[in-house]
């Protein structure tokens, strides 16, 4: 645990250090380079800001309206057919939509059922192995003004589903 | 995509909330969502500018070409159309490396940069190209080596073994990434046949 903590907190400083040392050794104007790059960053943020507001509005609506419980109830026959524990369902549904909401839901599941219980372990594995799909797609496409995403959402959701199903099956074997 | 999903999310939630007496919650959520978007953007402004700056330094050195060379076989397989675009390949490799190291704050700005470079070669500016599709799908699969956030949550909840999930997470990530890559390759093939 300590080693892992150390590695994860050392990663960013080490990378910055290496890059700066390389830049100095190759006699570049390191600070000018930095400022030039950082200036470009402002444009990127401005471009994704309106998308963020929109996404947060929609996600906030879903979270606060209570409709999630209804959806979970509605699809429970399908999920129980695949052997997905119903306790995991709120997490599985929220995970692709909202990062902060899924962190909250996962923490809630782990507190309720026990962090080292089978359900808690499945929730942890899902949290660690998936990303906030909708948000990622929205940010990556809006920064270059793309409107048509073809099959990207379906492919990404397939990957999410396979990862989640794998987590459930794996812990059934392990515990 | 968002032109369809966004109104669906809003209409369904608002109508449901109104009929179920959750109007107050939904009203609060409107104001909470704008302020959290602003908060996130301010964080973004810092990290995106920082990593763009650091990356600019790196791009003028020989580190990135060296790293890109190591990742070449994978990148050429995943992004056949970018074979000749060295800049795109560099940015894609840096994004993958940042993801693997769990540097979410660095991975997003690098990824957005790569999207911009790929957009230059994109014949249809309003539609994702094959390479962009693969790139986004790859970024929605969490490729990180050490799932730090979950480990931190588990530790804070007094787990007997917070890191117990690392191996299962690797398994799930790899399986999910392979599923995403395969699905993307199949969709690309199917569309090109039409």
Contact at CB, A65 and B54, closer than 8 angstroms: no
pLDDT digits (tens, 9 = 90+) for B47-105: 878 888 888 888 888 887 788 888 889 999 999 999 889 899 989 998 998 888 767 66
Nearest 5°: phi and psi at A103?
-60, -45
Chain A CB contacts of B157 under 8 Å are 107, 110-111, 115
Q: What is the pLDDT of residue B16?
A: 93
User: Of the ranges A79-88, A166-175, B89-98, which one carries the lowest mean pLDDT score?
Assistant: A79-88
Q: Which of B46-55, B120-129, B158-167 has the highest mean pLDDT?
A: B120-129
With a cut of 80, say whether residue A12 has pLDDT above it: no
Strand partners, B159: none
Q: What is the pLDDT of residue B36?
A: 82
Chain B CB contacts of A127 under 8 Å are 147, 149-150, 153
Nearest to A41 among B36, B48, B133 (CB): B48
Question: Residue B168: CB partners within 8 Å, gap ≥ 6?
Answer: A121, A125, A129, A167, A170, A171, A174
Domain ranges of chain A: 2-174
Contact at CB, B30 and A35, closer than 8 angstroms: no
**Separation of alpha carbons B118 and B107, rounded Å:** 16
Q: What is the pLDDT of residue B116?
A: 94
User: Of the ranges A21-35, A129-143, B131-145, B147-161, which one carries the lowest mean pLDDT score?
Assistant: B147-161
**Separation of alpha carbons A98 and A35, rounded Å:** 32
With a cut of 80, say whether residue A100 has pLDDT above it: no
């Amino acid at each position: 645990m300590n080693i892992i903590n150390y590695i994860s907190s050392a990663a960013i400083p080490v990378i910055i250090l290496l890059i700066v040392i390389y830049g100095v050794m190759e006699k570049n104007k390191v600070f000018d380079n930095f400022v030039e790059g950082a200036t470009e960053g402002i444009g990127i943020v401005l471009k994704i800001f309106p998308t963020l507001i929109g996404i947060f509005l929609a996600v906030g609506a879903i979270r606060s309206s209570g409709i999630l419980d209804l959806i979970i109830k509605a699809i429970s026959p399908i999920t129980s057919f695949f052997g997905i524990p119903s306790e995991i369902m709120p997490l599985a549904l929220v995970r692709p939509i909202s990062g902060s909401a899924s962190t909250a839901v996962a923490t809630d599941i782990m507190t309720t059922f026990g962090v080292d219980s089978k359900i808690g372990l499945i929730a942890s594995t899902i949290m660690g192995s998936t990303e906030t799909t909708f948000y990622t797609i929205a940010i990556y496409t809006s920064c270059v003004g793309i409107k048509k995403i073809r099959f990207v959402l379906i492919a990404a959701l397939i990957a999410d589903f396979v990862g989640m199903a794998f987590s459930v099956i794996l812990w059934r074997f392990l515990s | 995509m968002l032109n369809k999903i966004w109104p669906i999310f809003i209409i369904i939630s608002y109508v449901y909330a109104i009929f179920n007496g959750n109007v107050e919650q939904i009203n609060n959520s409107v104001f909470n969502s704008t302020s959290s978007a602003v908060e996130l953007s301010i964080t973004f402004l810092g990290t995106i500018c920082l990593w763009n700056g650091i990356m600019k330094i790196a791009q003028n050195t020989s580190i990135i070409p060296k790293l890109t060379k190591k990742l070449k076989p994978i990148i050429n397989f995943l992004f056949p159309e970018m074979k000749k675009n060295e800049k795109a390949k560099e940015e894609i490799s840096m994004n993958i490396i940042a993801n693997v190291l769990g540097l979410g704050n660095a991975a997003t700005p690098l990824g957005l940069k790569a999207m911009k470079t790929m957009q230059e070669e994109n014949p249809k500016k309003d539609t994702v190209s094959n390479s962009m599709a693969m790139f986004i799908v790859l970024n929605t699969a969490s490729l990180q080596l050490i799932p730090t956030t979950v480990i931190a949550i588990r530790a804070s909840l007094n787990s007997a073994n917070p890191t117990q999930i690392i191996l299962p997470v690797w398994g799930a990530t790899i399986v999910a990434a392979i599923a995403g890559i395969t699905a993307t390759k199949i969709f690309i093939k199917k569309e090109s046949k039409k």
